[in-house]
Amino acid sequence: MLEKTYAFVLYDISSEQLGKVFKICKKYFKHHQKSIFRGHITTANLIKFKDEVKNTIEQDKDFITVITMFNVETFDEETIGTNKKQNESIFI
């Protein structure tokens, strides 16, 4: 059985890439609200997702944050592209 995690994807994308990124996110996650997606995903598909968005966005202008829940008490946050809000911390 493949190991699944739960992830949230949030993004701020330039209008030129917005449609492409939206379609990539819909392939892997459920659309939750505007630029937020979430859902269960295998580790292999999470790697594929990250590769696809890395090859699509302009990393000096756009960013995608992936918050991965390993269990109810542990999560990891990764930002792909420019980290405009790098001084913020997240508390759950």
What does the domain layout of the chain look like in residue ranges?
Answer: 4-81
Radius of gyration of the chain (CA): 13
CATH 3.30.70.240 given to domain 4-81: yes
Predicted confidence at residue 86, as pLDDT, reads: 53
| Contact criterion met (CB below 8 Å) for 45 and 53 | no
d(CA 45, CA 2): 11
Report the DSSP pairing between strands 74-81 and 30-33.
Answer: unpaired
The reported pLDDT for the residue numbered 64 is 94
Written as six digits, the tokens of 41 are 């995903």
Which residues contact residue 28 at a Cβ distance below 8 angstroms, ignoring those fewer than 6 apart? 37, 39, 41, 45, 46, 48, 49
Could you read off the pLDDT tens digit of each residue along the chain, which spans 92 residues?
A: 567 789 999 999 988 899 999 999 999 999 998 999 999 999 999 999 999 999 999 988 998 999 998 776 787 878 888 765 554 444 44
Neighbours of 63 (CB within 10 A): 20
What pLDDT is stored for residue 65 in this prediction?
95
